[in-house]
Chain A
């Protein structure tokens, strides 16, 4: 009885979530980083509400990008180190399904978690409640795109001993549009104008990477497996 691709996808997602929850320290690291950076800013700056509101979209997005980057390194690394990546590559499902499942699971424990705590951070930065929905939507699109971009980078650098720096160098320039459009969407929501433009751009980037990055990451990973 063979196993279908969707079944394989859910099995790998379950495996990744199971592994993440057995390691709460690693699970919480990006989240704690995000919370610390964003709560330090209001303390460091003057507590003027108007200044905070001007700064908050940029602060929020820079912190979100950097905290997502923190955990990208481990996406394929631990599996490559202990030989389980070879087992996954030979499971008969095609590496693309495995890559998609692993990246999606990675987004669930980093990106989605970050989106869930963002209202807390938004409150600390003085973002009005009315702007929360736009802020969270832009973060969903942005972190999802970043996870996919990161999967390509992680696939390319998985064979390197200290691939972390190289990974940041590969991913950060590609993530610049996310920062620009994400911050601008949040900014517009705060000032009460329509955020549709930047959100459409984010959505387009998200669809673009979701459809093409799995294949690019698979090729990158196959090269490093050789």
Chain B
């Protein structure tokens, strides 16, 4: 596989969890204006792969590189360029939606309250901005988590099951946000069970196949 100098490249990654060989030589490449949809049955290592790509989990073998360099050699630059949304919304119940965003996004870049309110508006939860996250529904929390991804202004989105708990409108909205992001030159890696119908350069990777 050619190394993608302008994007993300994962080469022959192996991960063992205890005795289980979870990722068996997975390779992928993701360039700007591309969306990679990772599919596979439960327990085939989709989340593990995403954690490897983030740099949270070091693979026993193989290499993850960003802009042609291993991510471990320029960790903070890489982290500044990515926005990760795990399958948990990662919100503090005692903080309001807006405060949650401010403390999470504020570590990445200087951001004003208007920008944060704007991203909440774009995911359709502007009305929840000043409510504690613990009173929000699961779907609303998912939307707030998506607003956080938006507000980070990152070029690489790594999303783990971003459609969970969303209603039909929310699913369409997230798909539209993904499309907009990719059309503007970003790239995204999405773990999702159902088919993505997004009009961009969409690749698929089936794990456990």
Contact = CB atoms under 8 A, between A and B. Distances in A.
B113 to A, nearest CB: 14
A225 interface: yes
A145 B5 CA distance: 46
B171 interface: no
B163 interface: no
B135 interface: no
B90 A82 contact: yes
B80 A2 contact: yes
Contacts of A225: 56-57
A161 interface: no
Nearest to B90: A83
A18 B90 contact: no
A88 to B, nearest CB: 7
Task: Give the secondary structure class of A's interface.
Answer: helix
B70 to A, nearest CB: 17
B86 A91 contact: no
A185 B94 CA distance: 40
Interface in A211-226: 225-226
Interface in A11-54: 11-12, 14-15, 18-19, 22-23
Interface of A: 1-3, 8, 11-12, 14-15, 18-19, 22-23, 82-84, 86-94, 225-226
A83 B88 CA distance: 6
Interface of B: 54-58, 75-77, 79-80, 82, 84, 86, 88-95, 99, 103-104, 106-110
Given A83-B86, A83-B88, A86-B84, A91 B104 contact: yes
Given A1-B109, A82-B92, A83-B90, A91 B58 contact: no
Contacts of B80: 2, 92
Contacts of B75: 94
A218 B94 CA distance: 26
B103 A15 contact: yes
A86 B79 contact: no
Contact of B55 (A3, A14, A19, A90): A90
B82 A93 contact: no
A18 B86 contact: no
A8 B110 CA distance: 10
Contacts of B103: 11-12, 14-15
Contacts of B104: 84, 87, 91
Given A3-B108, A83-B88, A92-B79, 9 more contacts: A3-B109, A82-B90, A84-B92, A84-B104, A87-B90, A89-B56, A91-B104, A92-B80, A226-B57
A113 B183 CA distance: 52
A90 B109 contact: no
